Structures are given as C-alpha cells and as structure tokens.
Amino acid sequence: MTLFDRAAAVIPGGVNSPVRAFNGVGGDPLFLVSASGPRVTDSAGREYVDLVGSWGPALLGHAHPEVVAAVQEAAARGLSFGAPTPGEIELAELIRERVGVAELVRLVSTGTEATMTALRVARGFTGRDLIIKFAGHYHGHSDGLLAEAGSGVATLSLPGSAGVPAAFAAQTIVIGYNDLDAVRAAFAAHPGRIAAVITEAAAANMGVVAPNPGFNAAVAEIAHAEGALFIADEVLTGFRVGPAGWWGLEGGWTPDLLTFGKVIGGGLPVAALAGRADVMRMLAPAGPVYQAGTLSGNPVAVAAGAATLRLADGGVYARVDAAADTIAEAVRAALAAEGVPVAVQRAGNLFSFAFGSPGECGWSGPGPRTYDEVKAAQAWRYPPFFHAMLDAGVNLPPSAFEAWFVSAAHDDAAVEQILAALPAAARAAAA
C-alpha cells in the first residue's frame, strides 16, 4: 500500500488541501518528510529543488536556522496561553513598521479568516451587504468568496463550490479583472449597496496576472467616491514581492483594509487583517464586529513570523528577485528553443507561465489579463513539462494556474539544477 493509498483511505482525496493533489498533472502527490533551504525530501529519500515553497511562506527557504531556533525557544516557554503575549505585539509592530497604512493589526491563523473577517468589518463599517470581487482571484474558502476563485477550483474545473447557499453567493458581485468599466458598472447597478471591493493586490492565483498600471489606484478611487472600502488582499504578495508587499512596490493607492498571511507566519499558521484605525476599531472588543480565535496570535507561530520578518532584509529581496529573473528567463528561452509559445507572467518576483500566444488564445495583452484569458491558455502543455521537471528533481506547483515560489535560499547550485532540467521539460511541452 502506498502512502497515497493510505492517505486516501482516511483523508478525502488523500490530501488536506486540494491544491496538493496531482489532479491537474496526473499521478500521486509526493509525500514530503523534510525540507531545508531550497530543497525538500520525499518519503523515498529523494531530494528535489523546491519551487512550491509551502505555497508562499518559505521566503527565506525551508527551516531557516534562526526561525527554527525562535520556534524552539518559544515552544519551550509554552505552546499556547489563551492570553495576550508580548510576541503578538512585536509581530504587529513589525507589520506596521513596513506597511504604514496598517495602522492597527488583528492576528488570525489563516488567510481565509483574514479575508472573511475583513469583509465582515467592511460590512459593519459601511452598513452595506454587497462585495465586489474579481474573477480568478482567490481569497480563501469562505462561502461568499468562492465564486470564480482561481487556481484550486480551476485545476479541478469547478465553477465554484457546492454547498454555498445561493443567498450567500448573491452577496458577491464577480466581475472581470483589469476592467475598470465593470467596476463602475457594478457600482452604478447597486447604488449605496456595495460595502467593499476586494482584490488580490497583484493576482497570483490564476497564474500571475499583474494589475494594469493604475488599476489598483483607480479601483480605490472609485470605491471611495461611492462610500465603499478598498480591501487589498496581500496574503500572497505581502512581504514577498518586497519589504512592504505589492502596496510598497507599486505605490500610489491607499487601501482601507489589507490582509496578510503566508510570509508573516514563516511557515506556521499566522495571518492578519490590518488597516485604517477607525475601520479596524470596529472589531470586538473595541467595536461591534465579532471575531475570535482560540489560537489567534499563537506564541510559537508569532515567534516564527517575527523571526522571518526580522530576517527579510534588502539582501533577501535582492536574492529572491535575482533568482526569479534568472529562472523565468531560462524557462522562456528553453521553451522558445523548442518552438513552444509561452507568455511569462510577472508581478515583481512572482512569476508563472501561460502557454500559448495572443493570436492563438485571444489574449488582450502579450499574456492573459483576465481569468477568461487565462482559461484560454494551452494548459495541456503543463503536465508533461511538470513531470519532466519532477523526474529531473525539480518540484513545481502541480497546476498550470499557480505561481512559482522562489526563496532567498535558492543559491547557484539550486538554480543550476533547475536550468539543467529545462531543455528536456521544454521538449516534453512541445510534444
């Protein structure tokens, strides 16, 4: 009996998060037993250079010694107290130091909780019910946010999720990304009823699709003119694309609320919502919007997050950016050499690849700019590419609709191993 057979006998589908399954590429998922720096090791003892990075948290690479030491030290002092701790303040202060608009910070355990709570706060603050989200953006799996929610559901070819009451889904207006006319039209169709627009600061859950220049600023301006809030979901981009996330990298817009996750937990479950003090004071016990968590601000988890943010200095971002540039360009060149059409999709150091060309796929830019355009890509080229890379010891996300995650631990040897694997993978994609 394989580990996957055992898992499938006790866990639905054999995985505890659908993106870990190999439905999008075929085969059984790797079962990992350890990870260090840029590498992971599976249950058969085989080592891979990793470009999944725990789906984002591993900015410094896996098991950074100083982060592990901070976790061990915190764990030795106690695992959970159910009372305020100094470590929570430290993490909240580190977040605010980097992202000035995060005036107040509430720590939670998952990105799903962060966005779900941000919507509740926005509704409580504005007294309105409706939310605008963009097709292809993933904000976690709360009921109202699962419509056209990008990678996980796209890989499984699901339009949304069963089990979401129609009345909940009806509170979410889903419109096309990078389409300002659609934002204006939604506000015009529902005057005085929209509480907030939520957007991935730069979309990275339908592959990477950066916002058009000025898009975030214009959406924020429209929302504010209509008395609605602008929520920037930086769960994935926050503290990854730069020291102050996409907000810091792009500049020029002011969110009322932001959500963070992934990097701020350094590999343990920490996420946050943050933003304007008057809006954040809606949260209980300061205000009437309820939210709580037995393990919120868990002392071991915040120690990992604070250690990670303290270590994530300019040198870390420079290394991640440089490795991302090298890998993205090498993939493009390898595919070009085999005559495989591809668009390299970038948002800072995040990148993914959309197979196809504007002519073949009807893209409005050099690559896809919307979810419909993403879905028109030649995703069937990805499984053979993925498996050729895996055979050569490179662990990629098992879906054509995911970003690749580089870390500061991707040294020359790790990058060389990726580059060496590319020609055969490109040939597989061409076939």
Binding residues for ligand PLP (CB under 6 A): 55, 110-112, 115, 138-140, 200, 205, 233, 235-236, 261, 271
Residue whose CB is less far from ligand PLP, 17 or 364: 17
DSSP string computed for 85-115: -HHHHHHHHHHHHH-TT--EEEEESSHHHHH
- For the sheet with 104-108, list strands across it: 104-108, 271-275, 257-260, 229-233, 194-200, 130-134, 172-175
Residue whose CB is less far from ligand PLP, 235 or 241: 235
- Tokens linked to 295: 């393990």
Residue whose CB is less far from ligand PLP, 60 or 204: 204
256, 262, 317, 382: the catalytic one is 262
Q: Tell me whether residue 313 is one of the annotated catalytic residues.
A: no
50, 133, 233, 317: the catalytic one is 233
Q: State the residue number with the nearest CB to ligand PLP.
A: 111
Shortest distance in whole angstroms from residue 430 CB to ligand PLP:
31
Residue 277 amino acid letter: A
Residue whose CB is less far from ligand PLP, 115 or 407: 115
Q: Give the C-alpha separation, 304 to 324, whole Å.
A: 24
Owner of token pair 């002392």: 299
Residue whose CB is less far from ligand PLP, 138 or 253: 138
48, 50, 133, 138: the catalytic one is 138
Shortest distance in whole angstroms from residue 259 CB to ligand PLP:
7
Question: Do the beta carbons of residue 96 and residue 274 sit within 8 Å?
Answer: yes
Nearest of 42, 51, 54, 236 to residue 139 by alpha carbon: 236
Residue 326 amino acid letter: T
Shortest distance in whole angstroms from residue 75 CB to ligand PLP:
21
Shortest distance in whole angstroms from residue 238 CB to ligand PLP:
9
Residue whose CB is less far from ligand PLP, 370 or 417: 370
Q: Give the C-alpha separation, 46 to 113, whole Å.
A: 35
- Tokens linked to 213: 């220049």
Q: Give the C-alpha separation, 58 to 173, whole Å.
A: 33
Residue whose CB is less far from ligand PLP, 88 or 200: 200
Percentage helix, strand, coil for the chain under 3-state DSSP, each rounded to 5: 45, 15, 40
Q: Give the residues across from 258 on adjacent strands.
A: 232, 274
Q: Tell me whether residue 317 is one of the annotated catalytic residues.
A: no
Q: Give the C-alpha separation, 344 to 254, whole Å.
A: 28
Residue whose CB is less far from ligand PLP, 21 or 271: 271
Q: Give the C-alpha separation, 251 to 368, whole Å.
A: 23
Residue whose CB is less far from ligand PLP, 291 or 417: 291
Shortest distance in whole angstroms from residue 405 CB to ligand PLP:
11
Question: Do the beta carbons of residue 401 and residue 150 sit within 8 Å?
Answer: yes
Q: Tell me whether residue 233 is one of the annotated catalytic residues.
A: yes
Other residues' Cβ atoms within 10 Å of the Cβ of residue 159: 10
Q: Give the C-alpha separation, 119 to 121, whole Å.
A: 5
Question: Do the beta carbons of residue 23 and residue 33 sit within 8 Å?
Answer: no
Nearest of 250, 249, 240, 228 to residue 183 by alpha carbon: 228
Q: Is the CA virtual torsion 283, 294, 61, 141 positive or negative?
A: negative
Shortest distance in whole angstroms from residue 205 CB to ligand PLP:
5
Query: CA 262 → CA 63, 145, 232, 305, 309, distances in Å?
Result: 14, 19, 15, 9, 11
User: Dmax over Cα atoms in the chain, in whole Å?
Assistant: 60
Indicate which residues carry an active-site annotation: 138, 233, 262
